[in-house]
Structure 1
């Protein structure tokens, strides 16, 4: 949308509403090359993007062009194509994933993207995780099954055959009963039926290859008997002296199928631990794209790991034992009892930890890095959701060009942005508003608050989840994906959607510039988590770190206003110290912080000591206890204890903190809150008032994004941990900006903010003076006036039909008006009234709409002023815009839910999709079939609830 759509009035904030093309900047401190105050240029990457579901890949150039033009007009900067399951009744339009016809439509999309200046990414599977029809059983994900055999005495022989048959199983989403006997082997041989069956997991009855047979005696001897098992499974071996127990490791096919796959994309998920599997998988894309122009494609995308979102887990690969020995320095086959938790407690813990670390290494090296390198050869980058993998996700994120997160937990969300900051990556993205609420329950205001959390966490490249391609001939509500929110033109909020997109674009235009300005590198002690056995062989890391010491530290830091990023062992190895600062990715940090750590790799601790010797300050809540793993254990333990003893810790007077001078730097050990004080780590005390923020530096300037996430109205000076020469305040919702009122001393500054709960702003700090208009601060100058009871309500657009206009004596939800048509309506209606120009001398007035369900566009005397999508629903008008008698119109748009509920009550189908076909997030919205239903709903509150008031205002001096 154009900027003037969002202006409040010609004098919204007096002179702060002037549009500046060139501003001269004078600096008292003599700074040069400072950016001029004003909004940065809005690029396509600054705008929000969206995941773009291609249902059944039933796309065509005519509809692609129309939908992309609508997306561009609404303010989306790019799209990520994810082919997905189809829609019933449109089977004749299905296009198989990566077929020549499919690639031609991709080419057309890329060309149209260039015309509209929209970026295009592509998910590397039709659904997720990586997999498809071309994945052979050899390349499919695997699992291990271990069989133990009874004790054998000296001279005894094993009578059982060393064989195992895979237990068959089948899980489908499709409602018709499907029997395993109906399936051909391999699963790809059933190509024509897979879309209808929606298979989640399948295992055929097949002999499982023997990978190892090991014998362990009560005397400590270990024998590898694998080569003594013949083709029939007979063991040709007579037990020597001792009492022997045998363990056989068999390799099985996990059977995980690509989730939510579209036509041609169904099939086995790959073995993420095998370089051969990923190379063969990527080779199919290379072949499919050969001879086609995909130059307009920016990035390839991976939608999380999720292999083990099924029965059992994929925990093996054919070369596991070789890879383990190469990395850990010993033969895992000799420690199978410990791997299974059947040895002494220490061996059980250490071997399991080494196994999990090996799996992590394989996902990083054999899968993620190879995928990145393949993309780079073709001139592309990769976006990766690492969370969910049984690996150190910080390292997986580091191998991506754009790390991507999802969720509503800031501890989790910060994993992706942390890696971007630590590794010097410009962008960190988010899958946003996934299941924010249930279907048809989330408003633009809800989305705005969710996006603010991502921005505060360091995300600066928002992707909605998502937008569904829907052809123009599809009846309302069109095609929809099974997870809310539905960011599509069929959604009633679409005409107001651009306001949210402009807000995000303005915010990200600042947050994509410069570098992060965080102070603490918070160590993620993954070895401690590897060592906890849990319920399965592998642990899957989503970044939330629940129950861990790092989560406790992260929550404390965030609550108290400390700016931090997580860091892994591999990333610590790359750190440098210069002039007392810790450097990584072109960014300086004040310290490395170790939460309580039991197990730490020797190399990590050595590096931390080295950083201190070079001048760094290192904070530790406790000294680490031991090293993880089993290889070279005694040697590593001795070195760790020697390093710990080299630290001459002295308790500080009046404190619980112990301090060790180490070379040019220091190590402090003790209580977290005291550590931060003793280490002189800066923090933003605005957090105590419910304000949350993130900082970035761009040359000599610092930019804050600040959001009021508390319940208190902020109207006064707010302290910043940055010295202020001058500051410019920006309102990303309405586009106004101006020079802020500030105070400053040698160490920190203060800026005057007026933020109601839910509001946000940007503050740009300059070291010297700037030439810019003053930001307009307001205070009331008289009593507020409530608008009268004479309103006319007219329904403009929406359905199922337009109710008759009504005259209102009081404001309230239009669903309370007598008549089913009002209760069923979803769309836009205009409230119209007239009012006389107030008496008095006020030059500016604030209008407060009170409660709005759910967004509003305001016009005064026929001139559109502003679109409001979230509380507070307030705006300013100038006395000069008022006439003796004024016409005031408020066009309010509600959510889709009332119309959907009406459809469902009438038996009109909108759940017309293959696969999951519209599940519900909330149990209260599940019908007898387990799917989403609105049959139990009462009408959603809709319209202008009010009260609507007008308050005279005057500038604050």
Structure 2
């Protein structure tokens, strides 16, 4: 064996060298991971949607089409909510339903859920749902008054002392109307109101009977517990000391808080989230139904259970409160019950304010230890992921966050501006818990912001602002299940709520360019980890930037990636000072998927200074991953372009006659806004129009030259797909409104240019309002109107009576006088190249 020692040594050396080489190779792969993520985003970088199933308006064909459209567009997760027919903003109903038997959480509805799970499995998509009907909060028709959220109630009886008192204490009563935070369209009364809850008069449990001086501050030593003196019928005998007394009979009943906004027949009480019995019952029912109907699909076709942001209010009681309060706070709750009746109670160690703080702390403890802890354990045991928007409720966010499998935060589109809701606090808590993925319910809107007039360019800076705040996965609010034939568009809505991300949206297909942008951004914003930065990690010089520029910094220890976004709808040029030196800055453009070095920059001992030109709502990744060279350059970071020629003259423009457009292409002698045309079929057109023209290039002998040209589209309303000589160059959906033309595509003569321009639904809907009505509408609470009932012509599939109408939807934002939205290719269109 000794003769082979050298062989073993050689083998060991070779293995060592190979291992070292593999380590170096792995290191290089890690070093390049940012580029890999950017160029080929992983599945985790794909966005998701909140999938709204509106009342009984469901179909298997629609479910399949929805999921296939989402998959093709680049989404990979749906979270389903079963809501009322419309949200008005409250729960509303549409009469004369074509499918009235589809009631949430009943057997016919579960067949639809199973089909969605099967289709999700086929498509390789995540599918989950909310933990009950509606989106607020945890409950349903299966929750009895005993298991519902509770409130303290009381009656009071005056008594004069120094005598034996025999009295029958009246049972406390409360108003029939419960504590539901928002009205519901009540089909019984026909109005939107907070409904009466009969069990608030039929269900009641005693807590204690207390006597105390009639007026003034009460010492705990003056509180006399008479609970054992009272008979079941309320009769009380008591030898009262001298003085004037008040006898309080304290009890509890259901708070009458209803889930929202569910179908009327699916509406029920919220469960008591501080009661182990109630939470167990609710989750056992929910998970039992899921297992019964979807058991073989759990983990493949069905993956998660969701709990939305909390709006159910803070309860004032739970049956085990006396025991829990004593265990957690060290003193009895009983003498302080009078604080609920507005009395001031104190002793030498505590007072009313301390009790209120301690009671609030106990509520928070119970939400943590019972509600969240039970959800976490039971959902995990069911092999599902616990999704939650863990804010807005009576708990300490940092305590419950580690129990949540995937955390979502939230931002709105108020006034066209990024409007976060408890987002910063949630992101901070997530980072504190060491979690990397921050999901967000994204672009939630109301009728002031979302009236079938939203565009990707309008949406973009709000999403960018959320990225800079720490969000790295968008879950869109909302995507509505479209159950009907495709001729009924825009189709079903979530009533007045949400940005219209639907497969029936005019720009759904070209909007994939925006989804691709999100994927690239989210891939890099999930890569590495958030950098532990100080406030001067990146400085913006000059006042022009203002508050418009936002950024976030990630690193893997070897490379640094900054996402820098102009969130204003105006171009700005800003000098950026990065707290990095000796590294070559690169600019990665996530809109057009390009990566290039920035040649002009200054680097000193601890700073790199770069001047960056941002167009309207433009964003870039500035990446430092390789050592900077020593050679100087005079090249510009953003070279200006010169016009080679303007593309003027007539255009042939074809509109879709199915949506009211002219039957034949129309010649535009010059580019102009569709709404300025006299033809009603163009003025009110919504959808995609195809612009076509041929042009020559004035430059001599362009054929074969390695020149990259740039097609500047000027003003576009609202997206444009560009094709030249049968080459699809992609979709232009945001500034800068142009697209590069790769070398070799253009010819000297007879270049065919096709530009497919898509606008929004608003104009066609306004055009329809010029025609006689053939649907009935009910006014919404905050403007607009919802469909009162499905018309007979719709149910029969007959031609509609109003021949000039083309659209069908469940919510109407417009009148005949509503202003039209500028639409079309406005231009000017020109061919450019770098100077």
TM-score calculated relative to the size of structure 1: 0.70
**Within 5 A, what are the aligned runs for 1:320-399?**
320-338=321-339, 342-343=343-344, 347-399=351-403
CA distance in 2, matches of 1:306, 1:707: 33
Contact 1:798 1:826 in 2 (8 A): no
Deviation, 1:909, is: 6.0
1:837 is aligned to 2:688: no
String of CA shifts for 1:122-145, please: whole Å, max 9, x gaps.
211121221112111111122223
Query: Which residue does the alignment assign to 2:480?
Result: 468
CA 1:259–1:802 in structure 2 vs 1: closer, same or farther (change >3 Å)?
Answer: farther
Deviation, 1:934, is: 0.6
1:479 is aligned to 2:359: no
Query: Which residue does the alignment assign to 2:415?
Result: none
1:423 is aligned to 2:433: yes
String of CA shifts for 1:465-521, please: whole Å, max 9, x gaps.
11122235262222222213222221111121211111111111111222222457x
CA distance in 1, matches of 2:677, 2:743: 35
1:230 is aligned to 2:225: no
Question: Among residues 724, 737, 753, which one is paired with 1:888 in the alignment?
Answer: 753
1:112 is aligned to 2:119: yes
String of CA shifts for 1:227-267, please: whole Å, max 9, x gaps.
32222223322322555444443312222222122486321
CA distance in 2, matches of 1:452, 1:900: 30
Question: Among residues 469, 474, 485, which one is paired with 1:457 in the alignment?
Answer: 469
**Within 5 A, what are the aligned runs for 1:691-706?**
691-706=549-564
CA 1:31–1:832 in structure 2 vs 1: closer, same or farther (change >3 Å)?
Answer: closer
Question: Residue 147 of structure 2: SS of its match in structure 1?
Answer: coil
**Within 5 A, what are the aligned runs for 1:531-610?**
562=535
Deviation, 1:856, is: 1.3
String of CA shifts for 1:610-646, please: whole Å, max 9, x gaps.
xxxxxxxxxxxxxxxxxxxxxxxxxxxxxxxxxxxxx
Question: Among residues 715, 720, 732, which one is paired with 1:856 in the alignment?
Answer: 720
CA 1:37–1:460 in structure 2 vs 1: closer, same or farther (change >3 Å)?
Answer: closer
Stretch deviating more after TM superposition (164-173 or 65-74): 164-173
CA distance in 2, matches of 1:822, 1:419: 52
1:750 is aligned to 2:609: yes
Contact 2:461 2:568 in 1 (8 A): no
Deviation, 1:72, is: 0.8
Stretch deviating more after TM superposition (334-343 or 488-497): 334-343
CA 1:843–1:282 in structure 2 vs 1: closer, same or farther (change >3 Å)?
Answer: same
Query: Which residue does the alignment assign to 1:490?
Result: 504
CA 1:811–1:266 in structure 2 vs 1: closer, same or farther (change >3 Å)?
Answer: same
CA distance in 2, matches of 1:851, 1:884: 26
CA distance in 2, matches of 1:907, 1:316: 55
Mark the runs of 5 or more structure 1 residues left unpaired by the alignment.
1-23, 180-195, 521-561, 563-680
Contact 1:97 1:263 in 2 (8 A): no
Contact 2:184 2:195 in 1 (8 A): yes
Contact 1:796 1:830 in 2 (8 A): no
Deviation, 1:384, is: 0.7
Mark the runs of 5 or more structure 2 residues left unpaired by the alignment.
1-20, 86-93, 413-418, 789-809
Query: Which residue does the alignment assign to 2:802?
Result: none
**Within 5 A, what are the aligned runs for 1:130-141?**
130-141=138-149
String of CA shifts for 1:399-458, please: whole Å, max 9, x gaps.
312221222434732222222211122322111122161321211222222221221111
TM-score calculated relative to the size of structure 2: 0.80
Query: Which residue does the alignment assign to 1:807?
Result: 667
CA distance in 2, matches of 1:687, 1:259: 49
1:213 is aligned to 2:217: no
CA distance in 2, matches of 1:721, 1:44: 32
Contact 2:373 2:403 in 1 (8 A): yes
CA distance in 1, matches of 2:224, 2:387: 46
Deviation, 1:839, is: 3.7
CA distance in 1, matches of 2:524, 2:611: 20
**Within 5 A, what are the aligned runs for 1:46-65?**
46-56=45-55, 59=58, 61-65=60-64
Stretch deviating more after TM superposition (470-479 or 65-74): 470-479
CA distance in 1, matches of 2:717, 2:485: 30
CA distance in 2, matches of 1:448, 1:377: 39
CA 1:340–1:785 in structure 2 vs 1: closer, same or farther (change >3 Å)?
Answer: farther
CA 1:248–1:103 in structure 2 vs 1: closer, same or farther (change >3 Å)?
Answer: same
Deviation, 1:279, is: 0.6
CA distance in 2, matches of 1:379, 1:871: 45
Structure of higher CA gyration radius: 2
Deviation, 1:344, is: 8.3
Deviation, 1:347, is: 3.6
Query: Which residue does the alignment assign to 1:671?
Result: none
Query: Which residue does the alignment assign to 1:124?
Result: 131
**Within 5 A, what are the aligned runs for 1:406-805?**
406-408=410-412, 409-410=419-420, 412-435=422-445, 437-473=449-485, 475-482=488-495, 483-519=497-533, 562=535, 682=537, 684-685=539-540, 689=545, 690-710=548-568, 713-715=571-573, 717-723=575-581, 725-741=583-599, 742-751=601-610, 753-766=612-625, 768=627, 777-780=637-640, 782=642, 786-796=646-656, 799-802=659-662, 804-805=664-665
CA 1:45–1:878 in structure 2 vs 1: closer, same or farther (change >3 Å)?
Answer: closer
Deviation, 1:159, is: 4.5
Stretch deviating more after TM superposition (748-757 or 901-910): 901-910
CA distance in 2, matches of 1:776, 1:496: 32
Contact 1:131 1:270 in 2 (8 A): yes
Contact 1:718 1:751 in 2 (8 A): yes
Contact 2:537 2:578 in 1 (8 A): no
CA distance in 1, matches of 2:411, 2:49: 16
CA distance in 2, matches of 1:358, 1:215: 25
Query: Which residue does the alignment assign to 2:8?
Result: none
CA distance in 2, matches of 1:927, 1:133: 26
CA distance in 1, matches of 2:641, 2:445: 44
CA distance in 2, matches of 1:140, 1:791: 66
String of CA shifts for 1:102-138, please: whole Å, max 9, x gaps.
4454344333323322111221112122111211111
CA distance in 2, matches of 1:32, 1:867: 32
CA distance in 1, matches of 2:103, 2:209: 44
Question: Residue 358 of structure 2: SS of its match in structure 1?
Answer: helix
CA 1:412–1:789 in structure 2 vs 1: closer, same or farther (change >3 Å)?
Answer: farther
String of CA shifts for 1:38-81, please: whole Å, max 9, x gaps.
24142333111111122346655544333311211111121112
Question: Residue 367 of structure 1: SS of its match in structure 2?
Answer: helix
Deviation, 1:845, is: 4.0
CA distance in 1, matches of 2:382, 2:187: 43
Contact 2:105 2:133 in 1 (8 A): no
